[in-house]
Each structure stands twice: as structure tokens, then as C-alpha cells.
């Protein structure tokens, strides 16, 4: 039996330990804000926090999530009011929205670790999150805005 914390709640899982965390979150718990993009840790659509670090949930097996704390976009802030979410709304960042939960989780982890990132640090942290709509400029501006605490 695998136990872990997801968005502050203790949950358990009694299946294949090689199942990816992404499918556990989406199919077993119904946290569908976390998206499936590539399934190969290449796009960032599935980004969640694992013990506070941004990870690709498609590449984390349930066995490796045992005993850890997972936060998804649904758990980032109880009212959807995390500074990153506020900045995203203020600048109307999303286009289709598919990549955005992953972008926000990546940005939130960056700002938690580095509250005032340089442009280079923003580029480095966000470069693995692909946006097919090309919202990169607004994403960068929103990360900068979120760093001010909006």
C-alpha cells in the first residue's frame, strides 16, 4: 500500500507502483487540472509539486511518490489566489490554456525557491514548459509581476 499526501489530504493507492503520478491524480483522484501532453517529461503540461519541487508527474512513478507531499494546480491556493495566479489573470496570460496549469506550477516553484529571479533564471526555470500557443512573452511578464507580490 502506497500512501502520500495530495493537496493536504492523505490518500492511499494499492495498485501497480509503476503507474505514473499523473494518471493517479487525474483518473483516481479526479484532479484533471494536471494535463497529459507528451508523457515523456518533455513538455511540462503535467507539472506538479513533489515535496515543494516542480516535477513532471508523467515521469514520476507511484512507488517514488510514496510518503511524499504532492500539490496540484487545484491545491496551490484554496481560492485560486496565489500571487502567480493573480499575475496570470492580470496579464491575461493563457490562450487555449492547455499548458497553463503546468506553467503556473513551474513558476510558483521558481518563485518559492527564488523570490526575485533574474531574466536568465526565469528563462532557465520555464524553458522546459512548452506552450503551443506561444504565450512565452506574457508568461515571462507574469512571472516578473508575481515576484512583486501583486
Applying CB under 6 A, the residues found at the interface with ligand FES are: 36-39, 41-46, 56, 58, 94-100, 131-133, 135
Q: How far is the CB of 137 from ligand FES (least distance, A)?
A: 12
Closest contact distance (angstroms) between CB of 1 and ligand FES is: 26
Strands (E), 34-114: 47-50, 53-56, 69-71
Q: Compute the distance between CA of residue 92 and CA of residue 90 in angstroms, rounded to an integer.
A: 6
Pick 112 or 132: Cβ nearer ligand FES: 132
Q: What is the closest distance, in whole angstroms, from the C-beta atom of residue 53 to ligand FES in the complex? A: 15
DSSP 74: G
Are 46 and 98 in contact by the 8 Å Cβ rule? The answer is no
Structure letter (DSSP) for residue 94 = -
Residue (36 or 78) nearer to ligand FES, CB: 36
CB 77 to ligand FES: min, Å: 20
Helix (H, G, I), strand (E, B) or coil at 4: strand
Specify the residue for cell string 490562450: 95
- Nearer CB in complex with ligand FES: 18/116: 18
Burial of 18 (0-12, 13-18, 19+ CB in 10 A): exposed
Amino acid at each position: 500500500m502506497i500512501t502520500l499526501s495530495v493537496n493536504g489530504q492523505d490518500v492511499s493507492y494499492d495498485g501497480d507502483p509503476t503507474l505514473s503520478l499523473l494518471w493517479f491524480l487525474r483518473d483516481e483522484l479526479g484532479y484533471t487540472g494536471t494535463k497529459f501532453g507528451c508523457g515523456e517529461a518533455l513538455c511540462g503540461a503535467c507539472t506538479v509539486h513533489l515535496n515543494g519541487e516542480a516535477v513532471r508527474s508523467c515521469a514520476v512513478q507511484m512507488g517514488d511518490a510514496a510518503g511524499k507531499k504532492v500539490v496540484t494546480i487545484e491545491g496551490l491556493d484554496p481560492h485560486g489566489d496565489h500571487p502567480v495566479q493573480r499575475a496570470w489573470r492580470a496579464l491575461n496570460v493563457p490562450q487555449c490554456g492547455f499548458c497553463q496549469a503546468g506553467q503556473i506550477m513551474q513558476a510558483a516553484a521558481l518563485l518559492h525557491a527564488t523570490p526575485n529571479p533574474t531574466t536568465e533564471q526565469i528563462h532557465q526555470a520555464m524553458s522546459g514548459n512548452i506552450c503551443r500557443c506561444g504565450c512565452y512573452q506574457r508568461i515571462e511578464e507574469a512571472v516578473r509581476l508575481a515576484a512583486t507580490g501583486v
